[in-house]
Amino acid sequence: MASLLILGAGGHGKVVAEAAMLTRQWDRISFLDNDNTLNNVVGVPVIGVFDSYLEHKKNYSHAFVALGNNKNRLMWLAKLEKVGFEIPIIIHPNSILSKFCQVDYGTVVLAGVVVNANANIGKGCILNTSSTIDHDCLIGKGVHISPGVNVSGTVTINDCTWLGVGAKISNNIIIGSNVVVAAGAVVISDIPDSVMIAGVPAQIKKRWS
């Protein structure tokens, strides 16, 4: 059995920790978090702040980043990987993944998620509760698929994009990087990089560089 260090003891961290417990892969799990008022979250001890990760390297074989911010999540994954932590994939036992899909390290797949054949999920992603990824989708690194999102077949979602709760993505769509898709949006056409979209059908509401 191995030991797991989770960076982030907030709401998302709680869910990640419970999923990790249910996998029964680790005999010890601990948090790091910058909130110094925390000492135990869902029965898991908080043993230091984020920047103390090197101090714990000798006692923890694996580390995982449970932060909602896509870019911060990838940044911390890179730091942990550089110093030699093993970065796992955490898959809740009540999810359904095709044996023909691929999921990269640092990604969490939470309860009720379905990932179908030939979908490819990049590193450091969040596939949140009861979201679905259909066949032949390509999901980049650092993407957050929120609860209840439905991604139809042959969709591409590029790096660090965030799909809000209950968004629907029609088939054969390409969504750029650094995109925010508002909760409940229905996407029926391709979306460029670095925009926020909302509505039914979804339209660009904001752009950033």
Span 157-181, pLDDT tens digits: 999 999 999 999 999 999 999 999 9
User: Against a cut of 0.95, is the pTM above it?
Assistant: yes
- Residue 90 CA to residue 93 CA, distance in Å, equals 9
- Residue 206 CA to residue 70 CA, distance in Å, equals 19
The highest-level CATH class for domain 2-87 is: alpha beta
Kindly state the percentage of the chain with pLDDT values over 70. 100
Which homologous superfamily is 91-196 in? Hexapeptide repeat proteins (2.160.10.10)
pLDDT 10s digits, 95-148: 999 999 999 999 999 999 999 999 999 999 999 999 999 999 999 999 999 999
- Res 196 pLDDT > 70: yes
Contact (Cβ atoms closer than 8 angstroms) between residue 108 and residue 127: yes
- Residue 50 CA to residue 174 CA, distance in Å, equals 35
Does 91-196 match 2-87 at the fold level? Answer: no
Domain boundary assignment for the chain: 2-87, 91-196
Q: What pLDDT shows up at residue 148?
A: 98
pLDDT 10s digits, 41-97: 999 999 999 999 999 999 999 999 999 999 999 999 999 999 999 999 999 999 999
CA distances from 137 to 15, 103, 113, 124, 157 (A): 25, 12, 14, 16, 8
User: On the CB side of 109, how many CA atoms lie within 13 Å of its CA?
Assistant: 28
Q: What pLDDT shows up at residue 152?
A: 98
**pLDDT range class, residue 36, cuts 50, 70, 90:** confident
- What is the length of the chain? 209
- Res 1 pLDDT > 90: no
Q: What pLDDT shows up at residue 209?
A: 73
